[in-house]
A and B are shown apart, each in its own frame.
Chain A
Amino acid sequence: MKHWLKLALISVILPGFAAQGETLTDAEEIVRRANLAAYYGGADGRSEVRMIISDAQDRQQRRQFTVLRRDIEDGGDQQFLVVFSQPSDVRGTVFLVDKHIQQDDDRWLYLPGLDLVKRISAGDKRTSFVGAHYFYEDVSGRRPTDDTHELTDTTDQYYVLTHAPVDSSSAEFSEYVTWIDRQTFLPMKIEYTNSAGKLYRRVEVLKAEKIDGYPTVTASRVSDLLTGGRTDMQFRYIKYDIGLPNSVFTERSLRNPPRDWLERPAG
């Protein structure tokens, strides 16, 4: 009784604190919040990204690009524009994605050498994104409804969940485990197990910061535990709620990337 009163008082006086301190037990709700935290910060945003792709022999490749994102609806459809600046053979390549929840994404690729706007057919999204160990799906998010979710542990810091694909033919994993930060709801580590029961892939957050009020991953790594390769990804010059208009996410931006929005924000 005393305990209940204390809790009620705290939640009246310090609602923010209470919300952070609450312990969730519903796996669906944790996944919903994690999806929002990881992919839907703000109404829109921009970030510069660079990747270092290393193979088992430590031979390295690099990718550098700027991403603009706009949410149509929180947790729902989104638009992405990805403009590559490095390496030189992909410089000027632009990737436009209309991400849909109810249907396949629409994807276009602009190849500057041919001045060609190529449309990409819907395909397996668990394949390499521009030669990295990251998959398309790691970049734009996997639909929560594609998996079943089970809360398997709650530690001081993390909710630990185990997920399995609803349609086992749709993914190369048989299950994966996520460690979701209880404060920020960012998934801090994800480990994938294949049908042989072997742990073969790990995605981990190396650094997270609060930017414009949103917990944000600024460094992450994906490791291929079978081959020993890995990709490190860093994010910089991140800005949220910049007011990106719908018109940025059209064919116009493929030929003529929108400079005003791609420019680095001051400070």
Chain B
Amino acid sequence: MRAWCLLLLMPTMLFAQDNMWDDDDWAEEEERTYWTGFLEAGLGTRFEEDPLVAGRSTLEDLRWRAETEWQLDRYTVDLKLDAGYDGVENEWFADIRDLSLGFTLGENTDVSIGRQVQTWGTGDLLFLNDLFPKDFQSFFSGRDDEYLKAPGNAVRVSHFSPAVNVDFVWTPEFEPDIYLTGERFAFFSPLAGNNVAPRFTALEPQRSFDNGEFALRLFRTVESSEYALYAYRGFFKQPSGLTTSLQPTFAPMSAFGASLRRPAGPGLFNAEISYYDSRDDRDGSNPLVPNSQLRLLAGFEWEARTNFTIGLQYYVEWTLDHDELLANSFATEFEPDERRHLITNRLTWRAGMDKYTTSLFTFYSPSDNDFYLRPQFAYRHSDQWSLSIGGNVFGGEEQQTFFKQLQDASNLYLRLRFNY
């Protein structure tokens, strides 16, 4: 409770320092070592009780963000720190989202070492060749979109040349997604044949050079068209494999892909493909290890009317050696379809000189017959205050499908943020 009072007091303390911009401010701007960030309170609740998870609350965050940057000669250190209290898990937390050292080698090579968030690929909330860690607990509970991307400890080397640009990211210790453990949200277990909330921890690969993650992107823009090739060696990011003692684990995986993004007609077209090579189950016969997959995506986005944008995507997850999978399965009825089709739609409407943003993101799978809706209304009251209200609504037909399993996690949330 005391922390909440502090949240309400902070702005008055900071407003007092506010004054109109005058000529002196310009001079100050450059030299000042800044600290910026925000204070945020977030509350979210389920529509209905989930018998497997205690309490209806899906979000109870009180979060303080502090950000700064130090420059020493040609070196830059970035820091982004989150600290606060998570009422759903009943714990204080301190997360470093960014603590990295950046510098330039020679003329055309940028290096960044340390904890950092990384993103690439062309999908909108769909990731094929982007195998950097994602935080689905944050995503499903209504935290800011930023938290979908989890930080990882990595070395990034980017080389730029007119012929081709190269990004190489080495993550020495495997960084899995922040997956559903049953603590905040229950999920479907094919072994149990129903939803479970075991609060489990998956077995992570042992620390070794060979068990690190290596990600490569070659990219180039030619006449408004962006081309990229990708390669990855590491593991499936979700604990979709099982050890022989049936403990969830991460199966070895390599990926190869390509993407294109370019203007087309009134909007933007993007296409991406990725082949997931399940290295421990190349013929698909091992029921403990996920099969290889082909993932395909095509999307189109355009401003249909002034300040109203529509984005459509079509995505396919094609499980290879599907016959082998079924032939060796423990429970064929819970295995994925050979081809899982997914259609997404993002509608965004901005109004009042961008003060109000209303959006709806829809995932719908015609093959699984399940859906996930993400409505959101965001109001930016001032440079300091903003408010977001939204929902995560899941549904479908069969319990084992991806979105249907989360039906009891359907929630509404509200976030109030003060930027400083």
A114 pairs with B303, CB closer than 8 A:
no
Q: Check if B303 sits within 8 Å of A123, measured CB to CB.
A: yes
Selecting from A20-28, A126-134, A175-183, A194-202, the interface stretch reads A126-134
Given that A89-B386, A236-B26 are known contacts, is A116 also in contact with B119, CB under 8 Å in the complex? yes
Bound CA span A52–B268, Å? 32
Q: Does A209 contact B (CB under 8 A)?
A: no
B146 adjacent to A124 (CB under 8 Å): no
Binary flags per residue of A63-90, CB closer than 8 Å to B gives 1, else 0: 0100000000000000000000101110
Decide if A131 touches B21 in the complex (CB within 8 Å): no
Q: Is B91 an interface residue (CB 8 A)?
A: no
User: How far apart sit A42 and B135, CA to CA, in the bound complex (Å)?
Assistant: 48
Contact indicator A124/B354 (Cβ below 8 Å): no
Encode A109-124 as 1/0 by CB contact (under 8 A) with B. Answer: 0000111110101111
Tell me the count of chain A residues lying within 8 A, CB to CB, of chain B: 44
- Asked whether B102 is an interface residue with its Cβ less than 8 Å from the other chain, the reply is yes
Tell me how many residues of B have a C-beta within 8 Å of chain A.
51
Interface pair B419/A121, CB less than 8 Å apart = no
Contact with A along B8-44 (1 / 0, CB 8 A): 0000000000001100001001100000111000000
What's the nearest-Cβ distance from chain B to residue A50, in Å? Answer: 6
Given A61-B382, A115-B149, does the pair A124, B306 have CB atoms closer than 8 Å? yes
Using known A-B contacts A89-B419, A247-B160, determine if residue A131 contacts B354 with beta carbons closer than 8 Å.
Answer: yes
Pairwise interchain contact A113-B419, C-beta atoms closer than 8 A: no
Instruction: Please tell me which one of the listed residues A61, A88, A123 contacts residue B36 in the complex, with CB atoms under 8 A apart.
Output: A88
With A50-B21, A114-B117, A133-B353 as known contacts, state yes or no: A250 contacts B160, CB within 8 Å.
Answer: yes
Chain A 236-267, CB within 8 Å of chain B: the 1/0 string?
A: 11000000000100111001100000001000
A62 at the interface (CB under 8 A from B): yes
Question: Is there contact, CB below 8 Å, between A89 and B38?
Answer: yes
Does A48 count as interface, using CB distance less than 8 angstroms? yes
Nearest Cβ distance between residue B152 and chain A, in whole angstroms? Answer: 11
B84 to chain A, nearest CB (A): 17
A106 to B226 CA separation, bound complex (whole angstroms): 11
- Is B306 touching A251 in the complex (CB atoms < 8 A)? no
A residues apposed to B, CB below 8 Å: 48, 50, 52-53, 59, 61-62, 64, 85, 87-89, 91, 98, 103-104, 106, 113-117, 119, 121-124, 126-128, 130-133, 229, 236-237, 247, 250-252, 255-256, 264
Binding site for A on B (CB under 8 A): 20-21, 26, 29-30, 36-38, 67, 102, 104, 110, 116-120, 144-146, 148-149, 158, 160, 165, 219, 221, 224, 226, 261, 263, 266-268, 301-303, 306-307, 309, 350, 353-355, 380, 382-384, 386, 419-420
Q: What are 15 of the A-B contact pairs (CB < 8 Å)?
A: A88-B36, A88-B419, A113-B146, A114-B148, A114-B149, A115-B118, A119-B268, A121-B263, A121-B268, A121-B302, A122-B267, A130-B354, A237-B26, A252-B110, A255-B110
